[in-house]
Chain A
Amino acid sequence: MNHAEVRRAETRNPEVAQRVTDEYRWGFVTDIEQETVPKGLNEDVIRLISAKKNEPEFMLEWRLTAYRHWLTLREPAWSTVHHPPIDYQAIHYYAAPKTRTQPKNLSEVDPELLRTYEKLGIPLQEREALAGVAVDAVFDSVSVATTFKDKLESLGIIFCPFSEAVQKHSGLVREYLGSVVPYTDNYFATLNSAVFTDGSFVYVPKGVRCPMELSTYFRINAKNSGQFERTLIIADEGASVSYLEGCTAPMRDENQLHAAVVELVALKDARIKYSTVQNWYPGDREGRGGIYNFVTKRGDCRGDRAHISWTQVETGSAITWKYPSCILRGDDSVGEFYSVALTNHRQQADTGTKMIHIGKNSRSTIVSKGISAGFGSNAYRGLVKVLPGAANARNHTQCDSLLMSDHCAAHTFPYIEVKNPTATVEHEATTSKIGDDQLFYLRSRGLSEEDAVNLIVNGFCKEVFKELPMEFAVEAQKLLAVSLEGAIG
């Protein structure tokens, strides 16, 4: 009679039951009338999207130029991720909740849609948003509601759906769109440039510190649709802003493509903090379904002493492929990248950052924490490039991997190119496996196995979590806990 086995079976059963119900809490589908354009991609579809959004001519031209360029490109194959070929003609490039007219305020938004966001815990109602978070919610391709608009407007801050910015602030859009991520940048960014449907736009004028966190919530609901949002944030001289991004999708057996582009522009003395908690549907245990998250995010420290900070917690998606980067153009500019990427079951992540040092005394910090469980595969890929003019540039990179099973994988690909002899570049990397001894130690103090795992993982991620705004940090911890249920063994 083996005591150990009996005991495990007894104590684990309730957890198993709990796990099944908890697996992906955001996996519901909203039953709402959808307006979609026919599947597939051609110039007519792009013209249709542009027309639906009533876009000015320059926007359509930009899209078509990008599309024609895209036709000359091939899907990149250099990352560690593997997936069956994507049929770009099987995707709906536009899906929107059907409403007769554009809603003017919250009371005109479809109540079914508001209920969806309520289920997701997004405080769309301003009275509920006392926490001081202004929210822009993007449902499939359309931005649904932006809260706190009036208060922000009084400070000259623009925070609105991208499609609205194209109409009302076309000068700014024209000046900055594609200035950080050009339409020629890479396969997925080029596709996005051709077909992007909505996203968020932020402009913070000179010297203004945005008094609240700005937040966008992305949700893919429609079947066979892709989400191609585009976010553009501009912090003018001396301005500062903190921006949060969250995402979920229903559970579906097919894979869905999410190819977003985020561009940040920080002028002289400006500061942008961009935080993401990414929880797209990761697929099931066997790797069926889930989101392909192929995203291009880049910030440009365009003036002296500009500061851009990326913080990401990546727990979802079947495949994550993203490298939030900083171009440190200004002298004394600062770039930071703090990342937690978790892969469980059959999830794959190839993520990291690029720090391009151009300005003198530019500094960058990279802290990457990869957690691999189940059959998950996790790769850190990072480039630190110091150009000849970047005297006294400094970088510190710390890259830690935590393995939770015998079948998972962790890879580290640091690329370092230094063309200035006064630069200092440091790289540290560690790999550890969650130990039976550590787990026993914590369990012998009364913690359940799950609590013990969570405590160890939270300790591992602490340097990243402390960069997140408070509510987001709490959310991120809960998310990791759910994503790791049953991960040991």
Chain B
Amino acid sequence: MLHIENLHVSIGDKPILAGIDLDVKAGEVHAIMGPNGSGKSTLAQVLAGREGYVVTAGCVRYLDRDLLALAPEERARAGVFLAFQYPLEIPGVANVQLLRTALNSVRRSRNETELDAMDFLDTVKGKLELLGMDDSFLYRAVNEGFSGGEKKRNEILQMAVLEPRLAILDETDSGLDIDALKTVAHGVNALKHPGRAVILVTHYQRLLNYIVPDRVHVLAGGRIVRSGDASLALELEERGYGWLMPESSPQTEARP
């Protein structure tokens, strides 16, 4: 489904990713772990199409398309979803309005009929139930005044409504208490599907107690320095990242 080859990315003159290779197949869950500043979030943002990053070498194929040639909305319509580490607030716009506009944008691009307000409400209520979330979420302004945990759960709700083929979760576990973590993990597990792949970008192992990955990759200094199965995460929990760090000095992660 996703094939990343020799991906090099810079912000301005500063190289962040220095040759990433990664293959993700449908139905798989991959965890990308690594210390702060290793380039994890950059990878997630580049896959979603954030401007300000310059791809200096390499390519990304997604469902046999050149992913990097697509605008962010085209990627979303093709089934790529990024759950943001820091979800944005859109004052005055009800959650339900964003969800419906988003879903209908995606449906339109697939020549499917748009859902009217009633049909949409049926769909979204099913998703709320699946995630154990309250109806009141729908009528609050997007992320405005949400707690950190609510914002993350809202990202999962958006994912559930849009039903992506490739879901990338950027540190969705950070800042969550244990109950919220379980809710998020339950949501992701409920959406597991043979046709869907998930990439979990995470700093800590604890999310992986609830979502068991097929593959774990350790990113350091802009490269994948180690890949393994779920047991690698446990080993990292025990030994930290130090033993995997490359000789060269670690890069600090920059944002555009």
Bound form: Cα–Cα A458–B158 in Å: 20
Q: B50 contacts which of A440, A451, A461, A463 (Cβ < 8 Å)? A: A440
Mask of B92-106 contacts with A, CB within 8 angstroms, 1/0: 110001100111011
B88–A447 contact, CB under 8 A? Answer: no
A442–B98 contact, CB under 8 A? Answer: yes
Bound form: Cα–Cα A179–B134 in Å: 55
> For A2, what are the chain B residues with a Cβ–Cβ distance below 8 Å?
54
Mask of A424-437 contacts with B, CB within 8 angstroms, 1/0: 00000000000111
> For B75, what are the chain A residues with a Cβ–Cβ distance below 8 Å?
444
Interface assignment of A448: CB less than 8 Å from any CB of chain B: yes
Closest to A6 in B: B69
A444–B105 contact, CB under 8 A? Answer: no
Bound form: Cα–Cα A463–B93 in Å: 11
Closest to B103 in A: A446
Closest to B50 in A: A440
Report B105 CB to chain A, min CB distance, Å: 4
Interface assignment of A11: CB less than 8 Å from any CB of chain B: yes
Interface of A is mostly: helix
Interface assignment of A83: CB less than 8 Å from any CB of chain B: no
B72–A443 contact, CB under 8 A? Answer: yes
A441–B162 contact, CB under 8 A? Answer: no
> For B121, what are the chain A residues with a Cβ–Cβ distance below 8 Å?
none
> For A4, what are the chain B residues with a Cβ–Cβ distance below 8 Å?
51, 54
> For A435, what are the chain B residues with a Cβ–Cβ distance below 8 Å?
88
Contact A456 to B158, CB < 8 A, known contacts A6-B69, A7-B71, A444-B76: no
Bound form: Cα–Cα A446–B78 in Å: 9
Q: A442 contacts which of B70, B74, B90, B162 (Cβ < 8 Å)? A: B90
Interface assignment of B109: CB less than 8 Å from any CB of chain A: yes
Closest to A461 in B: B92
Interface bin, chain A: 20 to 34
Q: A447 contacts which of B70, B87, B102 (Cβ < 8 Å)? A: B102
Bound form: Cα–Cα A116–B142 in Å: 42
A447–B92 contact, CB under 8 A? Answer: no
Bound form: Cα–Cα A443–B71 in Å: 8
Interface assignment of A460: CB less than 8 Å from any CB of chain B: yes
Interface assignment of A285: CB less than 8 Å from any CB of chain B: no
B101–A459 contact, CB under 8 A? Answer: no
Interface assignment of A3: CB less than 8 Å from any CB of chain B: yes
A-B contact pairs, 30 of them (CB 8 A): A3-B55, A6-B69, A7-B69, A8-B71, A11-B74, A435-B88, A437-B88, A438-B90, A440-B48, A440-B50, A440-B51, A442-B102, A443-B49, A443-B76, A444-B49, A444-B73, A444-B82, A445-B158, A446-B76, A446-B106, A446-B109, A447-B105, A451-B101, A458-B93, A459-B90, A459-B91, A459-B93, A459-B142, A460-B91, A463-B92
Q: A447-B73, A451-B101, A455-B93 are in contact. List 8 more A-B contacts (CB 8 A).
A: A441-B90, A442-B98, A444-B73, A444-B76, A446-B105, A455-B97, A456-B90, A460-B92
Q: What residues make up the interface of B, taking CB atoms closer than 8 Å to A?
A: 48-51, 54-55, 68-77, 81-82, 84, 87-88, 90-93, 97-98, 101-103, 105-106, 109, 141-142, 158, 162
